[in-house]
Amino acid sequence: MSSYHIKNLEEYYKVYRKSIREPELFWEEIAEEHFNWHKKWDKVLSWDFKKPEVKWFDGAKLNITENCIDRHLRTRGNKTAIIFEPNNPDEEALHITYKQLHERVNRLANVLTNKGIKKGDRVCIYLPMIPELAVSVLACARIGAIHSVVFAGFSATALATRINDSGCKMVLTSDGSYRGNKTIDLKGIVDEALTKCPEVNSVLVVKRIHSEITMLAGRDNWLQPLLNEASATYEPEIMNAEDPLFILYTSGSTGNPKGMVHTTAGYMVYTAYTFKNVFNYKEDDIYWCTADIGWITGHSYIIYGPLANGATTVMFEGVPSYPDYGRFWKIVEKHKVSQFYTAPTAIRALAKEKLDYVDQYNLSSLKVLGTVGEPINEEAWHWYNDNIGKKKSPIVDTWWQTETGGILISPIPYVTPTIPTFACLPLPGVQPCLMDENGKEIKTNQVDGRLCIKYPWPSMARTIWGDHQRYKETYFSAYKNTYFTGDGALRDTVGYYRITGRVDDVIIVSGHNLGTAPIEDAINEHPAVAESAIVGFPDDIRGNALYGFVILKETGKDRKQENLRKEINQLITEHVGPIAKLKKIQFTSGLPKTRSGKIMRRILRKIACNETEHLGDTSTLLNPEVVQEIIGHVL
Ligand code: WTA
């Protein structure tokens, strides 16, 4: 018997040692005992980080939706699978049982099939946090189509780039979305994006806000009438373990976003196992993760991980500040939430408000608090612990990435003693290591270095869609035979990890990963701009904010700088999305460059962070004089 649910520290160490000594046996036992397979695997793991190629449970046959839905029907058919909490607190919450979810997923699976979508086709999902989003994801998985969810805060350009990169044939969207007291015209954004996406021949539209939209004959259909006509049964497509389940885009240091490809069996086993342990999930718990399904956290820990365990998972359509800053806590009380999982940026924003917003609600149902997406600062950790957890609910600071598919380093609640700001210990099966600047592994404790993982885990991304070479270069070339995370970390005397942040040019703003390239491209679209560079600098609420250094063309120099700033941010909103707007924009005559012409973002970052006394050696720059000019005009 494998130990599926770790109950104390001694057991954790025992299980962890086994998972390292006999990783294949460890995962095989879990896969065997806790999931349904049409056929078992031929080999648990084959891997080669040089190629790189990783296969888990190769040869096995399954459908992930049978594991997330069908197998619960007999024992949990009338149990709530999804609680939908609408944006408007006066609109009634919806409780969708496993039986109802099954029927809804089947109907949509039939609609997709009737529209010609087949196994392996890519389907883009651009929906707000409404039940149809979860149903769409699961319907794709049921028919073997590869879903590519695009966060519904991205602009038309960003959406088009993602649709074209993965070759989606269909888009699922809604007329619009609610966000606090605003509405967003999602269908309008899709229409604009599709002017650049010739391969999309079908758009299915959910009616949510009842706005006036245009429907293109032959391409666009309202979803509801099609669902009404569709059959409520659907035989799931039998997939191979290594068939792609989904593509999810994440930003890189350079170039376009990377379409990370996750496959079926390993992803299922790992997200289910980690959900159970990291959230100490028990049968009657109500679990709520506030992330959007447009991000990996929503994929793994709103949909797949919880449903694979037969859990009740909450989907919230709105924002933490609407109708007031007590909304999260009101929802916790209303649905008696047991596990609450959110991001440090949300905690910091709420901690700034009056405690009244917290204290008027009964939070006694809470048993576990989680955080994810960026390092949590000590102050936010204590506020969360004192005021939300009342010092009784353990905080799990979960470290992971879009690429890792599931949580890799995290305390296990009621098992691992926690230290504020530390993600603590690797979960079973995870072998982290720290590398020094010269690419050597640091074996001792009380050190910091670059965080790598030296052995495969089941839910790791297998490739970048359409660009395996980039996958190899980004993750497997910096250090020999190890996966490089892009993060720095320190390890304390007992082996606990603390993640210190990105060591590459990815900037995390409010928990969203932003690559510099698409933002700089957007700025450079402005006719008055010659060149630009952006860096992050600390922000109390959002973790980081963006600082842009912009060189103007001659023609731009007479323009009013305030107008230019507005226009630049407008372009960023259009090309990337409002989350990427710059907080500060400094106009300059040059940017510090190496002799090979590469912008030295490291120097710009120090200037933006007001750390100019530690600039390091600037003499190797092509144009060292520009550094003084920039420092002289820093904002
Ligand atoms: C950062 C989110 C510190 C990290 C699941 C990582 C964190 C990036 C933590 C991935 C944490 C995530 N502590 N930093 N607990 N969790 N990060 O792909 O820099 O959106 O590389 O996945 O977020 O962000 P992504």
The reply to whether ligand 1 has any atom less than 6 angstroms from the CB of 399 is: yes
The reply to whether ligand 1 has any atom less than 6 angstroms from the CB of 342 is: no
Spatial contact of 547 and 584, defined as CB atoms under 8 Å apart:
yes
Q: Cα separation of 31 and 25, whole Å?
A: 10
Fold for 506-632, please state it: GMP Synthetase; Chain A, domain 3 (3.30.300)
Which positions ≥6 away from 264 have C-beta within 8 Å? 62, 64, 239, 240, 241, 242, 243, 244, 245
Domains 10-33+42-71+83-464 and 506-632 share a fold: no
Q: Whose CA is nearest to atom 6 of ligand 1?
A: 401
Spatial contact of 113 and 133, defined as CB atoms under 8 Å apart:
no
Q: Please give the C-alpha separations between residue 488 and each of 435, 449, 558, in angstroms, as whole numbers.
A: 9, 6, 43
pLDDT of residue 253 exceeding 90, the answer is no
Alpha carbons within 13 angstroms on the beta-carbon side of residue 586 total 22
Q: Whose CA is nearest to atom 25 of ligand 1?
A: 401
Spatial contact of 128 and 177, defined as CB atoms under 8 Å apart:
yes
Cα 372 to averaged position of ligand 1 atoms, centre (Å): 6
Cα 400 to averaged position of ligand 1 atoms, centre (Å): 5
Q: What is the pLDDT of residue 136?
A: 98
User: How confident is the model over 163-213, as pLDDT tens digits?
Assistant: 999 999 999 999 999 999 999 999 999 999 999 999 999 999 999 999 999
Please identify, by atom number, the ligand 1 atom nearest to the C-alpha of residue 402: 18
Cα 176 to averaged position of ligand 1 atoms, centre (Å): 29
The reply to whether ligand 1 has any atom less than 6 angstroms from the CB of 410 is: no
Q: Which of 345, 376, 384, 513 to mutate to test the pocket of ligand 1 (most atoms within 8 A of CB)?
A: 513
Which H or E element spans position 238?
none
Rounded average pLDDT over 347-371: 96
* pTM for this predicted structure: 0.93
User: How confident is the model over 127-171, as pLDDT tens digits?
Assistant: 999 999 999 999 999 999 999 999 999 999 999 999 999 999 999
Please identify, by atom number, the ligand 1 atom nearest to the C-alpha of residue 297: 5
pLDDT of residue 1 exceeding 70, the answer is no
Please identify, by atom number, the ligand 1 atom nearest to the C-alpha of residue 409: 15
Domain boundaries, the chain: 10-33+42-71+83-464, 506-632
The reply to whether ligand 1 has any atom less than 6 angstroms from the CB of 402 is: yes
Q: Please give the C-alpha separations between residue 51 and each of 54, 130, 340, 468, 482, in angstroms, as whole numbers.
A: 9, 40, 39, 9, 12
Cα 236 to averaged position of ligand 1 atoms, centre (Å): 34
Cα 374 to averaged position of ligand 1 atoms, centre (Å): 5
Alpha carbons within 13 angstroms on the beta-carbon side of residue 55 total 14
pLDDT of residue 620 exceeding 80, the answer is no
Please identify, by atom number, the ligand 1 atom nearest to the C-alpha of residue 499: 3
**CATH code reported for the domain at 10-33+42-71+83-464:** 3.40.50.12780
Q: What is the pLDDT of residue 213?
A: 97
Please identify, by atom number, the ligand 1 atom nearest to the C-alpha of residue 513: 20
Q: What is the pLDDT of residue 2?
A: 59
Given CA atoms 112, 115, 121, 123 in this order, what sign does their dihedral have? negative
Q: What is the pLDDT of residue 593?
A: 85
Among residues of the chain, what percentage have pLDDT more than 90? 88
pLDDT of residue 255 exceeding 80, the answer is no
Cα 499 to averaged position of ligand 1 atoms, centre (Å): 9
